[in-house]
């Protein structure tokens, strides 16, 4: 797997390009909506495509627990199970094991945990999660890594990096051992850990690059640290990664975080922010975000955002959507989620366009100013 | 308002036709999905149209409480509030007042009750509900009536009929007094009450017909009485109604109840059965109904119904939909609701087609046999 860079910004590291998979290509910088349980909450595949979504993320941890490998294998892989014919990236489950599961026990071999759903015991290894993702047939698989919390002492972060590197090697070996999955060609990304320590990020990045992965993710960021640290570590880490491979900043983020990370050379993003906010009635717009639930929208006959081409904005008023939230109607959750996903895809198109036209910094500053301003008003 | 009868069955009273409204015409026999709170739960307008829905029902009681007259008037009526440009029928709120509200007090003037949502006190009169429906701009409005429970003694049913008739007169007068609403032409239906007593049904029907309504509804049926009584009273009451006006059996029903009532000459139906069942995972098919939630569907790669043209069946397997229910994903509720609404519309098309082709009894018997058979298996 390579990323074909088609445009580069002059004053930042921002770049735009394309990544090919056997389920078609996606343009970068790309935002992947999160289909945690093989569905992007409230939205159908047609609606996602209508929003311009080119690649989805799904969570191996959740799929491993429900419906499990057998049912997805029986369907012929995750694409066919959920009937999504565009690229899918699956994470390895690492992050969820470290954030959701209970009674974790991490050893050099893997991680034992109890399901957050029914308390059942499981043992995940780099190999088992690689094999599970092979069964899923994801276009891009992630290695199992050890995630640490923020803040994290240097010693603990160093041990997690050591284990992450060892697991990356084991994943690479397992990947070489498995035949191709049900969906033809698959790719494997390494994950750079190292918390907020440059020496650890450097060690981790260099070792992983030596193993030659199809792409590189930055893990353990946007986990509670100040935005300046996210930005600094992203910038530092990207400088250690090869130009010709995709770079993926895991779990990021809000629109302004994406703009910032793009300027450091990140190509791929995923985050539950647009859908989770959609379900609680918070809508993103070019002018900032607002809650459709507030009484001020009761009689407002304007759409969520003037000029937005999404289904919600073309068809419904704030007044109606506010009523739907007020009466706990599911259509409300769907309409704002859909708008937010559309907004994110529009943002990414805007970013790509700006990079192509050599206007990325202008585009970024203009938006940042509005959003920072609005955030102070909240 | 007239119903243009285009075909009549020879061996039953079944008939097929068209009813014109200022938001377009709908074909009969018609099934109206229920948009309780200005939304058919889980479905968008585009999805409803994709299912072939020609007319919706919405509940005045719910809309009266939330969002209230001002907000809907501000939007220019219910059609514009919810952006539905096809016909809408609204009930008067009577049924909900008698089934949902607390601390009801019925007088000759109207009914006092406390909201089931916040306990606030309200007083509804035949005139206020007529005026409210005028503000909604519904194509077909219903008079406020007094509903009784089943079983109901003759004396009590008689008093309710008397009040229903008095309220019908007051509604008619109020209708004559109000100017046209925001959505041009509106029509008013009377409601025949009388529980399971033929003498009361006769009295009520004859009086209402004398008042000359745009159509006639049968109320107080399918409220717990045996199916034979529903059938007998429907048959008896329809025989008292004019040929050239639409007849509407309120709150009915399951597919076999619809087939039965069509044979007695009913033109219009509404029921929450397809959507309520959809949300609990019960799917209707030509072969009967089943729950997609059961484990037997875990690995079933067939659609809900082979050959069904709905979005759910064209795109998703039972295995996937079962997983969505198993993981509490909203998309599951939507997919089965959508299938059920599509199934109901297909049933109505089938009924209309069979009447046109002079094969209604055949069509009815064939389906009844399957459904009765399957019901015994449950």
- Contacts for A302 with CB less than 8 Å, ≥ 6 apart: A317, A318
| Chain-chain contact of B329 with A37 (C-beta, under 8 angstroms) | yes
What is the pLDDT of chain A when averaged over all its residues? 95
Same domain, B220 and B324: no
B34: DSSP letter: B
Residue A125, CB-side half-sphere exposure with 13 Å CA sphere? 11
Q: Are residue B303 and residue B185 in the same domain, yes or no?
A: no
Q: Does B359 touch chain A (CB under 8 A)?
A: no
Neighbouring CB atoms inside 10 A of A209's CB total 16
> Over the stretch A316-361, which tens digit does the pLDDT of each residue have?
999 999 999 999 999 999 999 999 999 999 999 999 999 999 999 9
Residues B60 and B175 in one domain: yes
ipTM of predicted complex: 0.96
Exposed/middle/buried for B162, CB within 10 Å: 0-12, 13-18, 19+? middle
Average pLDDT estimate for A155-167: 97
Classify residue A378: in a domain, yes or no: no
Domain co-membership, A14 together with A95: yes
**pLDDT band at residue A163 using 50, 70 and 90 as cut-offs:** very high
In a 13 Å sphere around the CA of A283, the CA atoms on its Cβ side amount to: 30
**Domain identity same for B21 and B136:** yes
- The answer to whether A349 faces chain B, any CB pair under 8 Å, is no
Is A66–B323 a contact, with Cβ atoms under 8 angstroms apart?
yes
Q: Which helix (H) or strand (E) holds B261?
A: helix B255-263
Do B241 and B160 reside in the same domain of the chain? Answer: yes
Chain A nearest-CA distance from B216, in A, is: 31
pLDDT band at B373 (very low <50, low <70, confident <90, very high): low
pLDDT at A179 > cutoff 90: no
C-alpha to C-alpha distances, A150 to A194, A196, A266, nearest whole angstrom: 11, 9, 22
Give me the mean pLDDT over the B341-355 stretch.
98
Q: What is the pLDDT of residues B212-225, one digit of tens each?
A: 999 999 999 999 99
Residue A377 located in a structural domain: no
pLDDT at A184: 62
Which of A223, A252, A271 finishes a domain? A271
pTM over 0.95: yes
Q: What percent of chain A has pLDDT over 70?
A: 97
DSSP state of B128: H
Of B154 and B97, which is predicted with more confidence? B154
User: Of the candidates B212, B245, B271, which is a domain's last residue?
Assistant: B271
Q: What is the pLDDT of residue A370?
A: 87
Does the pLDDT of residue A377 top 70, yes or no? Answer: no
The answer to whether B74 contacts A319, with C-beta atoms less than 8 Å apart, is yes
Distance CA A306, CA A257 (A): 24
The rounded mean pLDDT for chain B is 95
Residue A94 is predicted with a pLDDT of 82
Range of the domain at B347: 281-377
Query: If pLDDT is split at 50, 70 and 90, which confidence band does A378 have?
Result: very low
Asked whether residue B30 falls in the same domain as residue B150, the answer is yes
Q: Grade residue B183 by pLDDT with cuts at 50, 70 and 90.
A: low
Q: Could you give the number of structural domains in chain B?
A: 2
Among A122, A141, A123, which residue's Cα sits nearest to residue A131?
Answer: A141
Q: pLDDT class for A180, splitting at 50, 70, 90?
A: low
| Percent of residues, chain A, with pLDDT higher than 90 | 89
Q: Is the pLDDT of residue B265 over 80?
A: yes
pLDDT tens digit string along B43-73?
999 999 999 999 999 999 999 999 999 999 9
One domain, residues B262 and B367: no
Q: Are residues B340 and B198 in the same domain?
A: no
Q: A208 in contact with B at a CB cutoff of 8 Å?
A: no
Burial class (CB in 10 A: 0-12, 13-18, 19+), A177: exposed
The values of phi and psi at residue A213, to 5°, are: -85, 170
A316 in reach of chain B (CB within 8 A): yes
Q: What is the pLDDT of residue B377?
A: 43
Instruction: Name the maximum alpha-carbon separation found in chain A.
Output: 62
The answer on B226 and B349 residing in a single domain is: no
- Per residue in A217-259, pLDDT (tens digit) is 999 999 999 999 999 999 999 999 999 999 999 999 999 999 9
- The answer on A313 and A245 residing in a single domain is no
SS3 category, A159? helix
If phi over 0 gives left and psi between -120 and 50 gives alpha, with beta otherwise, what is residue B44? Answer: beta
Q: Hey, of B331, B335, B339, which one would you mutate to test binding to chain A, going by the most A CBs within 10 A of its CB?
A: B331
**Which pLDDT score, from 0 to 100, does residue B68 have?**
97
Residue B130 lies in a domain: yes
Residues of chain A neighbouring B327 (CB-CB closer than 8 A): 37, 62, 66
Residue B253 belongs to a domain: yes
The tens digit of pLDDT for each residue in B91-103 reads 988 888 888 877 7
Pick from A48-62, A91-105, A360-374, B238-252: least confident: A91-105
- What b/e sequence results for B95-117 when a residue is b if at least 16 CB atoms lie within 10 Å of its CB, and e otherwise? bbbbebbeeeeeeeebbbbebee
The three-state secondary structure class of B17 is: strand
In the prediction, which pLDDT does A376 show? 46
Structural domain includes residue A217: yes
Pairing of strands B187-192, B215-218: parallel
In tens, the pLDDT along B349-361 reads 999 999 999 999 9
The CA–CA distances, whole Å, from A27 to A7, A51, A273, A375, B249 equal 11, 14, 21, 29, 55
**Given pLDDT bands bounded at 50, 70 and 90, which one contains residue A93?**
confident
- Cα-to-chain-centroid distance, residue A70: 26
Instruction: In whole angstroms, give the CA distance from residue B233 to residue B141.
Output: 23
**Taking the CB of residue A224, how many other CB atoms lie within 10 A of it?**
10
Catalytic residue among B9, B85, B91, B244: B91
Q: Is residue B276 part of a domain?
A: no
Q: Do B147 and B245 belong together in one domain? A: yes
Query: Among A241, A271, A301, where does a domain finish?
Result: A271
- Tell me the C-alpha to C-alpha distance, in Å, between residue B192 and each of A228, B128, B236: 72, 20, 12
Distance from CA of B303 to the nearest CA of A (A): 12
How is residue B212 annotated by DSSP?
Answer: -
With an 8 Å Cβ cutoff, is A331 touching chain B?
yes
H or E, element range at B102: strand B102-106
CATH of the domain at A215: 3.20.20.105
d(CA B279, CA A117): 22
């Amino acid at each position: 797997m390579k990323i074909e860079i088609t445009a580069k910004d002059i004053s930042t590291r921002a770049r735009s390009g394309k990544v090919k998979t056997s389920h078609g290509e996606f343009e970068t910088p790309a935002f992947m909506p999160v289909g945690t349980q093989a569905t992007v909450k409230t939205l159908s595949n047609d609606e996602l495509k209508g929003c311009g979504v080119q690649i989805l993320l799904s969570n191996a941890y959740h799929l491993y627990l429900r419906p499990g490998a057998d049912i997805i294998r029986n369907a012929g892989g995750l694409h066919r199970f959920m009937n999504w014919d565009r690229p899918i990236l699956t994470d390895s489950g690492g992050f969820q094991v470290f954030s959701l599961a209970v009674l974790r026990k991490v050893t050099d071999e893997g991680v034992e945990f109890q399901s957050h759903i029914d308390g059942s015991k499981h043992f995940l290894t780099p190999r088992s999660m690689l094999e599970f993702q092979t069964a899923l047939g994801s276009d891009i698989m992630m290695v199992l890594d050890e995630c640490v919390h923020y803040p994290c002492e240097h010693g603990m972060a160093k041990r997690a990096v050591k284990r992450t590197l060892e697991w990356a090697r084991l994943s690479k070996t397992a990947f070489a051992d498995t035949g191709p999955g049900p969906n033809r060609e698959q790719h494997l990304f390494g994950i750079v850990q190292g918390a907020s320590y440059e020496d650890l990020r450097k060690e981790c990045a260099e070792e992983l690059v030596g193993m030659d992965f199809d792409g590189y993710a930055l893990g353990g960021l946007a986990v509670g640290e100040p935005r300046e640290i996210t930005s600094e570590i992203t910038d530092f880490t990207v400088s250690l990664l090869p130009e010709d491979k995709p770079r993926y900043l895991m779990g990021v983020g809000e629109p302004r975080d994406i703009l910032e990370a793009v300027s450091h050379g990140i190509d791929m993003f995923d985050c539950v922010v647009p859908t989770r906010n959609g379900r609680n009635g918070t809508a993103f717009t070019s002018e900032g975000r607002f809650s459709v639930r507030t009484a001020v929208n009761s009689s407002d006959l304007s759409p969520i955002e003037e000029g937005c081409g999404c289904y919600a904005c073309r068809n419904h008023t704030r007044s109606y959507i506010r009523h739907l939230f007020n009466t706990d109607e599911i259509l409300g959750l769907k309409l704002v989620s859909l708008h937010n996903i559309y907004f994110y895809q529009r943002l990414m198109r805007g970013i790509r366009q700006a990079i192509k036209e050599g206007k990325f910094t202008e585009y970024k500053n203009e938006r940042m100013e509005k959003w920072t301003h609005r955030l102070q008003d909240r």
